[in-house]
Structure 1
């Protein structure tokens, strides 16, 4: 053939089509990532002889549906037995581990969590290696994400748009294993397309929703966290912080910057941290903050007004910083805090939907709610020193949940409460508020028997 290699490569798809035209074929197209590839190779299925079969593997279910694929099957991760067999084939050249390597092999299999790519790469890299090399490799995997795995898994990540990438990283760093409704609620304020993006990530097999909980493969989660770690060697210059050692370092040493968008300290963390009074002064873009076991013996100069979600369990001061005016705040949660008064005067918090101050035993009164008209949940359970509920609560027409259980010092409620949407009133005060309320009072307050 008088054709050079460049001409052949340029027309390779057309050549394949001509070779397969009107023949009975079994055509396997692996790792398809572009609809044009399917159109070029098998766009006209009538061109194949009857009885032909086309098998396509792809990361995106939408790509297959656009092409009119008759039947799709979602591949499941390998079970432990099959995973050990695949790993052993690569590491030992047979389907079971060498004697003395069984326990180590199972460690790698457990970490791979059924992902064939990881099993093959790790098994191949350990072929003919001694046990010291195996242990060294395992230790490195636990401390640093495997670069080869990262490179392969990032293919799907790189095809997402910027908003989709941000939401994927949010979930990888903060929300894996959380209820879907919680994830949507938490991110809705500062991620514009959260519902649609979750659907996109599911289609790309980067996310699953099971029993209404959001999950991703542990290696995809590690990939997301590795991407964030690569933003900077300094934790305070990364967009997301989730490791206690990084969070405590930044808060103790006041090294946070405007790059930080989210900080979430795992509730299981038992270590305590003393926070620098200026720790948040440079975090102008911090939107999501969740802390506990963080103390402020020298006070707190400020909190970022950019915050949209604030949860600080055991907040150790009696008030919030004076200049704190987060006009985009959606949820404020300070359970078991030492807060005496949340704020004084009228604050314009028109986006605020949730206030949780349960078991804040020093709280004596609620704030003025006039400019908090979108408040839906108010939880004051166990606020034993609460004496006064501000009269402005009467005009919170969107309030759905009010919890005043064990508010033992509360002596009265504002009259003529007009909470038209109130569904739940948990008001089990000791001795029914000293006889202040009866069923007729509850009827007047809520507009119906509960």
Structure 2
């Protein structure tokens, strides 16, 4: 086992009744990711040997989400919610044989900083609790500290008036040596006002064993927990403000920061420019020097250096834009790769497609990729010219240097260098428009 090894237990079993939702609380989204995803991301910053997520209400849905977000994390079920100590006890079989430090996090507390977690992991004391000085201590548990370190934690329900006057509060986050946790977790009692097994009783038990307990203090903002829709909205505002500030500090231009919305995993390179009213869903990477113009929505896509997107464009999952690609207004790209220098100016849908370098896609082009049952792929070679209002009925291939005539419906492959025209021949009827309109007006007047 590595020196200073860590394991993380994330408590995610609560119902979150104040959310007024059928969705488990930890699956509500913040920055485009479930709350538990923020906890998993923080845990991974420690490079732990094991992550265990304790599920309860909505266990199946939470387990599926964890498997998608972090396939290496384990999940265990807390069938009855009998307190935080009882929840951690459910994780202990997964940690059998682990001898490092166990850190307990919460699936609804998304803002614990990586530096704070690192300090907890490296602290020399046997047990360390994360505390904060609360502006309004309210119903938080209080940390009782003396010259020997942390003496005990008192829950608000069990505190007298003098204890409730203490401003140093318990975040619930704890770091404890695994062997000590293993020895003490079964000794927790539910003899308290709530009838629950409190993890917060561990410091007193550890002190009785002659072990050293201490407190690491962080900013109150790091300990923000999410219990209501209003708190979720406040957390979203805080997340966005931090994410925007971090990008600008890294050299990204946000012309109207307050109107740009980012996801937890958004990556934007230096000297990229992001216009107003741009929304980033999960899974977006924008390389250095690219520009996203106003009113665009991006999700699950990659935008290469020098590319421009928008305004009013949508990039859906699987969109891959090469260097110097231009995607213009009212263009939607889905599961399509656009090679270097491709131009898609306006009013176009490209789905399930491969477009070769320096190809021009005319306005109104659609890759007809879905037959009602299955998706089919369109391949367009390099330097092709797709005329405006072309319907490409997949599966179909348009070769290199080929062209399609405007208004064509292309149902067969087009060889390299060929011109394909697939439209009805125009018929012109002299004077018919005038006669037809006169007849229609007469009919209307007769009514």
Length-normalised TM-score, structure 2: 0.24
Length-normalised TM-score, structure 1: 0.24
Select the structure that is richer in strand.
Answer: 2
Select the structure that is richer in helix.
Answer: 1
Q: Which has the higher contact order (CA 8 A, sep 6+)?
A: 2
